[in-house]
Amino acid sequence: MVKKPEVAVLKSSGTNCDEETKIAFELAGGNAKIVHTQELYAKKKSLDSYHIVVFPGGFSYGDDIAAGKVWATEIKHFFIEKLEKFIKEGKLVLGICNGFQVLAKLGLLPALDCKMEQSVSLIFNDSARYEDRWVYLKKSSKKSIFVKDLDGLLYIPVAHAEGKFITKDDGTLAQLFENNQVVFQYVNKDGHLNGYPANPNGSIGNIAGICDRTGRILGMMPHPERAVLKTHYPNWRRNRIKERIMGVTIIKNALNYAKKTLL
Amino acid sequence: MYYRIEVSTKPSLKDSIGEDIKKDVQHLGIKGVKDVRFIRVFILKARKLKKGELSRIAKDILSDPVSDIYNFTGHIIHYNKTSTFVEIAYLPGVMDPVALTTLKLLKKIGIRTIEDIQTRNRYEITGNVNKRETEFIVKKLLMNSLIQLWSKEEKKVFKESKPLKMVKRKVDIIKKNDKELLEISKSGLLSLNLIEMKRIQDYFSRKEREPFDVELETIAQTWSEHCIHKTFKGIIEFNGEKIENLLKATIVKATETVNKDYCVSVFKDNAGIIRFNKDYNITFKVETHNHPSALEPYGGAGTGMGGVIRDTLGTGLGAKPIAGTDIFCFGPMEFPLKKLPSGVLHPKRIFKGVIAGVRDYGNRMGIPTVNGTIIFDKEYLYNPVVYCGSIGIIPAAFSFKAPHDGDMIVVCGGKTGKDGIHGVTFASQELDEKSEVSSSGAVQIGNPITEKKLLDALIEARDEKLYNAITDCGGGGLSSAVGEMGEELGVTLHLERVPLKYEGLRYDEIWISESQERMVISVPDKHMKRLKEIFNKHNVDFASIGKFEKTGKLRLYFKKEKVCELDMNFLHKKYPQSRKKAYWKRKLFAEPVLSEKIDLQNILLKLLSHPNIASKEVVIRQYDHEVQGMSALKPLVGKKNDGPSDGAVLCPFPDSKRGIVITCGINPYYGKIDPYWMAVSSIEEALRNGVCCGGNPENAAILDNFSWGDVSNPKILGELVRASYGCYNAAVALKVPFISGKDSLNNVFSLKGKKKSILSTLLISCISICDDVKKTPSSDFKEAGNLIYIVGKTKKEMGGSHYLKLFNRTGNSVPELDFKLSHQTLKKVYFAIKKGCVKTIHDCSEGGIGVAIAEMIIGGRLGAVIYLEKIIREGKLRDAELLFSESNSRFIVEIKKQKKNVFEKCIKGVPFAQIGKVEDSGKLMLYKNKTKVAVIEIKEMVRKWRQRIRW
């Protein structure tokens, strides 16, 4: 029997996209389990047997204080060494929506000089409200292993109130582009950078997702796990949905990489 | 010591929250404000903080190094000291989720010196604003005095009062006369009438003792309208005819008559249950939360959502909530502020608050809000109507429950506070530590994350079969939850074991508190250990507070003293039936005389921008309608994802094509003319919408939600009876069972001594099953060249229509229903969809054929040509009547030419006609006998339709 990559979908109080993320990884050919971080802190469970860790979407601790902040603070206190070890072993980390907020606030992304220090953030949308809408994403660099076989635009949904990407300063922004760490940018259906609603939250540089220096950690606001079945698409009755525009492609890339290099 | 930390967005960054407030300020007509900056305030109470601790908390925990600035030695000032600063704090006892989370986090990471935290919202307002305007902004926008105060006290954390001593109180009733009995009921806020008080007096006379206060409270809660639906189940004398039990005689009887085998549990549990497939069942419940939403829209609507989600979790052994619905009725958004009676919040504020409340609760719990509608009318100015629905999925084997003799009673989730105790009086002045006043129970703020944790933990415990029964704490709190669960056995409960939010609750307050996010489960002793592990993993508070025992009695203890002993039989079976009078006679409205020359184009555009018809996109997008990954038909569809759907389709299992269809029907304007036809039309509309989404009308179930006015008024009660009759006849004729329902009566506002009742409003929610989600159609036109059909006959039924509303008329010719034909039509249209020949279909309701076709054009960004003479009609109709009549049983369908024959064969036997074609013209062109009667540009339609409802 062919071995499948093992995926840990993490969960905290208020995480709410864990189940569909698990299903998405399973449909794409992985073995996924939901792991509560409380059990990791208490050392009742460990990440040792996993190849991919996903911080899924949701409202960890209700976005209290700021989105992702409380979960990030906990991890910083109870679990960061283990997580760093996991990353050093060449394994993969994906943060989606609230998960991206956690990775950014932890400083795991973008970790420009490979230093874990927060240099970007995700703040309130320009519209000041939660919005659920479908967006087009342009692949802006090939650095991330998650976008390897991707060409053309991705079409997947965002659903958040705090998704406006900002950087500490202009230098950080320039460096992100220079290092090819900007993985996804919001574009319109023709592939051009554009204002609202193509850029749904006012992100600087239209940035929707970034990776670390190794390309093995990806954080993105849009939800690939909600774009796995053709019937997930708002337009499946009108248009033929091609797999290459679907969120599942990102997940398959991760699993393929894990199969090739980690199994 | 009190320490103060302020955090705010860096001056170089846009402050979205501040800007949103500025926009609202301008909407209030105050133009002088230049900028608003939002500042978050944390007040920490600690004996003493170690050096560096305060700065560490401010820097690392409470602020973001990239986006924020902070200050722990003074105020953040974005502009200068002369700006206007206002600071809003919660009243003591009001849920402050951020403070709770922060406190827990600090403890968890080792900062244990902090005893308490309070958060506040501070605003720096610049520009030209005077004192009076500032006060106006604060009161109208920034705070609600029922839960918050405008604080000038900079440091204190507001606290609850000191603990109260246990006082066991007896109430003397045995020797009291009628007048005195009523006085006891009134002063105790028991809302019991004389007949009920006498029944209680008689009970205690036989027991030869006076009742404890908590016994009276328990009876009052159990016998309340909310819990037993006195009016609906009572005796009603209607137009001289005696109805023993209206609910049984109509709604319940309809379900019995249609006798569908897919009904698993109806009217018994917290939600109705129908079969989905051989392994799973579906639950559905819809609740109202009108009153709380009128007073505190955000908290009221949020806790409404939270409550109905708990109903789902409390159905069977616990269903998993997979979707929510929301249907609202508000006053007009443009209502002049100056004309607003005091004590009434402006409709725009209610609108924004209610939507934000539902949004935050649903989104945070990860439950998609998939279907709903909004009606705006001045009849809802005083009392908005807020319906929240919840759909759940449950393994078939877990659909029933019963506590076992000897099970522990476990309360879990949120802690208990003074929330919801007979709407405690509020203070309008500033409060301090000495104050004994807590927030009113009528207005609460929910904490969705507490409920989410509880949900996760309970589903895990359910799957391990750790408990035998579950129910939610809603109205009446523990008294209702435990009382109902233990009805067949008996209960022994120790009130001091209930986990409290703060000291100072009396035992009777613990018993009837309506604190949010609590559930009660019945747990065999042997499972307690495992249960504890699961609850600890999910950070869920719980306590074992007593036992279910086969005693037939409800026994309550407080610190070992018995404070209540009631017979379950008396409590649940012996309440006196209410007796009410009802009367109904059709009211005749002026029959409108309208000019022959109606500008069809103008009317259609006006209808498209009528707030009841216009796009609700600004609302829909704020709801996460896709979380859980089951969505197969979204609320917005079409080429640009902005056309309106008739409902929602969910596909709960990725390896099966079987789906759930959720729709609704509501039209209070028909009820003005005749509530009977309102009920009938609403049921057909809900089913029609279901069919449009590919749901099988023969595998459907419906729910009734009545929001009514003052039912002590026989005329208004008469409307209820009339509507119930309509429910019965339509459900039986269309062969669809009711599975659950709820009535919210007495939606009344006292204005200068005059009672203002809301428009009698019936919501019908519908759930149906579809075999193959891949065959479900949508409402947007797909392709030029396709044929446009109408199914159904158009009659001159303008009464209660939106067309007449444009002329401020009601009329009398309310849409009626040919029951037999309706049943046939629904079945045949569904059959055509099942055959795969229908990709596009939309129902005709508000705004008739005209609006339906316009919406289909908007969705597809195409065009259409329609030949009016081909529309099937009964009698002689003018063009405007043909286009805007709201007759039932009609659909507009788009068919590919190749499918023409198959479709016509499927639909044979009901009226249908080909009336036009889809074109790529960007226009709706209307012809009548080869003469062009109107051309409406799509751009205009989109503009009118999309730009009406703004945030």
The amino acid sitting at B404 is H
Nearest CA-CA partner of B711 in B584, B803, B810, B805: B584
pLDDT tens, residue by residue, B735-764: 999 999 999 988 888 878 888 899 999 999
Q: C-alpha angle with apex A229: A225 to A231, nearest 5 degrees?
A: 120
Q: Where are the beta strands (DSSP E) in B603-699?
A: 631-633, 636-637, 643-644, 648-650, 659-666
Residue A200, pLDDT above cutoff 90: yes
**Options 3.30.60.50, 3.40.50.880, 3.30.930.10, 3.30.1370.140; which CATH number does A6-261 get?**
3.40.50.880
Average pLDDT taken over every residue of chain A: 96
Asked if B117 is an interface residue toward chain A (Cβ–Cβ < 8 A), one would say no
Question: Given the structure tokens 């519908």, which residue do they identify?
Answer: B766
pLDDT value for B435 = 32
pLDDT value for B585 = 95
* Stronger pLDDT, B475 or B58, i.e. the higher one: B58
Distance separating alpha carbons of residues B9 and A162, to the nearest angstrom: 13
pLDDT range class, residue B158, cuts 50, 70, 90: low
Residues 575-614 of B with CB under 8 A from A: none
pLDDT range class, residue B438, cuts 50, 70, 90: very low
The answer to whether the CB atoms of A225 and B629 lie below 8 A apart is yes
Nearest CA-CA partner of B800 in B788, B813, B789: B813
The answer to whether the CB atoms of B366 and A58 lie below 8 A apart is yes
Q: DSSP for B103-146, please give it.
A: HHHHHHTT---EEEEEEEEEEEEEES--HHHHHHHIIIII--TT
Contacts of B509 (CB under 8 A, 6+ apart): B418, B421
Mean pLDDT of A219-226: 98
Residue of B nearest to A61 (CA): B449
The answer to whether the CB atoms of A105 and B64 lie below 8 A apart is yes
The answer to whether the CB atoms of B449 and A13 lie below 8 A apart is yes
Question: Given the structure tokens 């877990």, which residue do they identify?
Answer: B398
Residue B643, pLDDT above cutoff 90: yes
Q: ipTM score of the complex?
A: 0.96
- Between strands B469-472 and B542-548, the pairing is unpaired
Residues in chain B within 8 Å Cβ distance of A234 = 634, 636-637, 641
The answer to whether the CB atoms of A77 and B108 lie below 8 A apart is yes
Residues in chain B within 8 Å Cβ distance of A130 = 359, 363, 622-624
Residues in chain A within 8 Å Cβ distance of B637 = 234-235, 237
Q: DSSP for B891-903, please give it.
A: EEEEE-GGGHHHH
pLDDT range class, residue B336, cuts 50, 70, 90: very high
Mean pLDDT of B85-95: 87
The answer to whether the CB atoms of B66 and A168 lie below 8 A apart is yes
The answer to whether the CB atoms of A132 and B626 lie below 8 A apart is yes
CB-CB contact of B233 with B577 (8 Å): yes
Q: In the beta sheet, which residues pair with residue B323?
A: B391
Distance separating alpha carbons of residues B16 and B38, to the nearest angstrom: 9
The answer to whether the CB atoms of B67 and A58 lie below 8 A apart is no
pLDDT value for B424 = 31
Asked if A146 is an interface residue toward chain B (Cβ–Cβ < 8 A), one would say no
Distance from CA of B831 to the nearest CA of A (A): 19
Average pLDDT taken over every residue of chain B: 93
* Stronger pLDDT, B337 or B888, i.e. the higher one: B888
Distance separating alpha carbons of residues B286 and B326, to the nearest angstrom: 9
Distance from CA of A39 to the nearest CA of B (A): 7
CB-CB contact of B493 with B557 (8 Å): yes
Q: In the beta sheet, which residues pair with residue A6?
A: A31
Contacts of B676 (CB under 8 A, 6+ apart): B722, B723, B725, B726, B729
pLDDT value for B118 = 92
Nearest CA-CA partner of B232 in B744, B596, B828, B935: B744
Q: DSSP for B291-334, please give it.
A: HHHHHSHHHHHHHHHHHHHHHHHTSTT-PEEEEEEEEEEE--TT
**B564: three-class secondary structure by DSSP:** strand
Distance separating alpha carbons of residues B408 and B411, to the nearest angstrom: 10
Asked if A133 is an interface residue toward chain B (Cβ–Cβ < 8 A), one would say yes
Mean pLDDT of B679-683: 98
A9-23, B65-79, B85-99, B606-620: least confidently modelled range: B85-99
Cα B660 → chain centroid: 20
pLDDT range class, residue B442, cuts 50, 70, 90: low
Residues 518-537 of B with CB under 8 A from A: 537
Residues 741-800 of B with CB under 8 A from A: 773-774, 777-778, 780, 782
Best A64, A120, A168, A226 residue to mutate vs chain B (most B CBs within 10 Å) = A64
Contacts of A2 (CB under 8 A, 6+ apart): none
pLDDT tens, residue by residue, B579-617: 999 999 999 998 888 777 889 999 999 999 999 999 999
pLDDT range class, residue B160, cuts 50, 70, 90: low
pLDDT value for B94 = 80
A56-65, B176-185, B222-231: least confidently modelled range: B222-231
The answer to whether the CB atoms of B839 and A129 lie below 8 A apart is no
Burial of A201 (0-12, 13-18, 19+ CB in 10 A): buried
Closest CB to B13: pick one of A17, A24, A166. Answer: A166
pLDDT range class, residue B310, cuts 50, 70, 90: very high
The answer to whether the CB atoms of B17 and A124 lie below 8 A apart is yes
CA atoms within 13 A on the CB side of B791: 30
Residue B434, pLDDT above cutoff 50: no
Mean pLDDT of B450-467: 98
pLDDT tens, residue by residue, B343-385: 788 999 999 999 999 999 999 999 999 999 999 999 999 999 9
Catalytic site residues of B?
226, 289
Residue of B nearest to A101 (CA): B64
The answer to whether the CB atoms of B102 and A126 lie below 8 A apart is no
A43-57, B123-137, B743-757: least confidently modelled range: B743-757
Share of chain B above pLDDT 70, in %: 96
Contacts of B29 (CB under 8 A, 6+ apart): B337
Nearest CA-CA partner of B918 in B782, B790, B792: B782
* Stronger pLDDT, A30 or B433, i.e. the higher one: A30
The answer to whether the CB atoms of A124 and B951 lie below 8 A apart is no
Catalytic site residues of A?
97, 223, 225
Distance separating alpha carbons of residues A155 and A17, to the nearest angstrom: 19
Q: Where are the beta strands (DSSP E) in B10-135?
A: 33-46, 68-71, 84-90, 114-127
CB-CB contact of B812 with B845 (8 Å): no
Number of H helices, E strands in chain A: 7, 11
CA atoms within 13 A on the CB side of B526: 4
The reply to whether omega before B611 is within 30° of 0 (cis) is: no
pLDDT value for B433 = 33
Q: In the beta sheet, which residues pair with residue B660?
A: B650, B769
Residue B156, pLDDT above cutoff 80: no
Distance from CA of A229 to the nearest CA of B (A): 8
- Which DSSP symbol is given to B401? -
Asked if B107 is an interface residue toward chain A (Cβ–Cβ < 8 A), one would say no
pLDDT tens, residue by residue, B182-211: 999 988 888 889 999 999 999 999 999 999
pLDDT range class, residue B155, cuts 50, 70, 90: low
Residues in chain B within 8 Å Cβ distance of A167 = 66
- Between strands A52-55 and A92-96, the pairing is parallel
Mean pLDDT of B316-331: 98
Residues in chain B within 8 Å Cβ distance of A166 = 13, 66-67
Residues in chain A within 8 Å Cβ distance of B641 = 133-134, 234-235
The answer to whether the CB atoms of B364 and A63 lie below 8 A apart is yes
Residue B426, pLDDT above cutoff 70: no
pLDDT value for A102 = 98
Residues in chain B within 8 Å Cβ distance of A61 = 101, 105, 449
Distance separating alpha carbons of residues B93 and B441, to the nearest angstrom: 10
Residues in chain A within 8 Å Cβ distance of B352 = none
Return the HEC string of B724-752: HHHHHHHHHHCCCCEEEEEEECCCEEEEC
Closest CB to A166: pick one of B66, B622, B625. Answer: B66
Cα A94 → chain centroid: 5
CA atoms within 13 A on the CB side of B24: 23
Asked if A72 is an interface residue toward chain B (Cβ–Cβ < 8 A), one would say no
- pTM of the full predicted structure? 0.95
Residues in chain A within 8 Å Cβ distance of B775 = none
**B193: three-class secondary structure by DSSP:** coil
A93-102, B29-38, B432-441: least confidently modelled range: B432-441
Return the HEC string of B498-510: CCECCCCCCHHHH
Distance separating alpha carbons of residues B760 and B672, to the nearest angstrom: 8
Q: Tokens at residue B668, please?
A: 């209070």
